[in-house]
Amino acid sequence: MAVIPVDIAGHPYEVRIGAGLLAELVTHCRGRLRKRTVPIVTDANVHAAWGDVLEGALRENGHEPRWRILPPGEASKSWQQLAATVDWLLAEEVERGDSILALGGGVIGDLTGFAASILKRGCHFIQIPTSLLAQVDSSVGGKTAINTAAGKNLVGAFHQPSLVLADLAVLDTLPERELRAGYAEVVKYGLIGDADFFGWCDSNGAAMLNGDGALREFAVATSVAAKARIVAADERETSGIRALLNLGHTFGHALEAETGFSDRLLHGEAVALGMVLAARYSARRELMPRATAEHVARHIAEAGLPSELSALSLDCDGPALAAHMLHDKKMDAGTLPFVLMKGIGEAFLAKDVELKDVAAFLDAQLKR
């Protein structure tokens, strides 16, 4: 098992990573499960695959699990599900010192974390991430949110979990497409600040995706350690360090918006292509060699992720795609900070990017 500390001032916690943690849950949560009943929020897919394991682990130790099982999918990050979940937690008489368990992917983690942040002005919650994306990204760092008619993740709170348990065994039931999508966020940490880790991904990514346990532990632990370093340095994204985690995301969000946030393009797939675009755009601006950008594109393609904008057959031009960026949360007084690269492992925040230039670049990429 790997244990990664997240040293956030005032709310330090640990991320424990290993195979079989779900079955040992009560040992890991020692002192945190104060009552016989334990509230767990999950979705129907995760409940079907892992509900029994968690149920057994709790009952063996005299606890009674109380389940709230939501429909799988992004639509559950809604005002309606938030209200219903908070009402359910109140009906369950959850107190501030109790711990709510969030068992699922990023959807469940974001919704449950937000519910925990407002329940009685903030109560404890434990993240038990079950998708690769949630294990390496969304369960760590304390961003919680729901979606509204105006857009994704526009309503939320910073609320850190008190513990994160990433059981690598649960990845065995994760659909392969979701696993690959999560891998995009793993590669991201290499591209942001760790060329050696990108090299490791080049050599070991395929075997990791194929299920090698030791490689999975290394990939998740290295990713979590990178995220922990960044969020400990800049919890609320004020100094610009945390913004580096958005590498590939400004392009990615435009692609998600253009494809209607649908199954056509999963978040991780959009980020994968978004990182290729960020690399190629960096090369266009002569910040790094074109060959380096193509190395990134090759790695993404070899992982079974989208690497060519033209292959998406989008029904729009570059300016229309760039227009989606105007609605980006990061937009600040008319300028959009963009994460670009000087090389692999050398991401930086550029503040002088003109949307018109990005639109022309996207036009060329659409026609490649």
267 is catalytic: yes
93 is catalytic: no
295 is catalytic: no
Give all strands (DSSP E) within the chain, no chain letters.
2-6, 13-18, 37-43, 64-70, 99-104, 124-129, 143-148, 151-158, 163-167, 338-341, 347-350
227 is catalytic: yes
Which one is catalytic: 30, 121, 286, 368? 121
Q: How far is CA 149 from each of CA 77, 154, 261, 286, rounded to the nearest angstrom?
A: 11, 9, 13, 39
**Taking the complex as a whole, how short is the minimal distance between the CB of residue 27 and ligand NAD, in angstroms?**
21
Which one is catalytic: 47, 77, 249, 280? 249
269 is catalytic: no
Rounded Cα distance between 203 and 120, Å, is 48
**Taking the complex as a whole, how short is the minimal distance between the CB of residue 218 and ligand NAD, in angstroms?**
19
Of 81, 99, 127, 138, which lies in the binding site for ligand NAD, with binding defined by CB under 6 A?
138
185 is catalytic: yes
Name the residue nearer to ligand NAD (CB basis): 287 or 347.
347
* Residue type (1 letter), 332: D
Of 141, 190, 193, 248, which lies in the binding site for ligand NAD, with binding defined by CB under 6 A?
141
**Taking the complex as a whole, how short is the minimal distance between the CB of residue 280 and ligand NAD, in angstroms?**
23
143 is catalytic: yes
Residue 267 near ligand NAD by CB under 6 A = yes
Q: Residue 117: how many CB atoms within 10 A of its CB?
A: 18
Q: Which range of residues in 18-26, 59-67, 135-143, 302-310 is near ligand NAD by CB under 6 A?
A: 135-143
User: Under DSSP, is residue 85 helix (H, G, I), strand (E, B) or coil?
Assistant: helix
Q: Which range of residues in 21-29, 57-65, 71-79, 256-264 is near ligand NAD by CB under 6 A?
A: 71-79
Q: Residue 127: how many CB atoms within 10 A of its CB?
A: 28
Rounded Cα distance between 62 and 80, Å, is 33
* Residue type (1 letter), 155: V
Residue 6 near ligand NAD by CB under 6 A = no
Residue 170 near ligand NAD by CB under 6 A = yes
**Taking the complex as a whole, how short is the minimal distance between the CB of residue 109 and ligand NAD, in angstroms?**
7
Q: Pattern 104-133, binding to ligand NAD, x per CB under 6 A? A: xxxxx-x-------------------xx-x
Q: Residue 363: how many CB atoms within 10 A of its CB?
A: 16
Closest-CB residue for ligand NAD? Answer: 106
**How many helices (H) and strands (E) are present in the chain, helices listed first?**
13, 11
Is residue 47 within 8 A of residue 40, CB to CB? The reply is no
Of 46, 102, 247, 270, which lies in the binding site for ligand NAD, with binding defined by CB under 6 A?
46
Q: How far is CA 150 from each of CA 84, 146, 205, 329, 347, rounded to the nearest angstrom?
A: 21, 11, 37, 11, 30
Residue ranges binding ligand NAD (CB under 6 A): 43, 45-46, 49, 72-74, 77, 104-108, 110, 130-131, 133-134, 137-138, 141, 143, 153, 170, 173-174, 178, 267
Catalytic sites, residue numbers: 121, 143, 185, 227, 237, 242, 246, 249, 253, 267
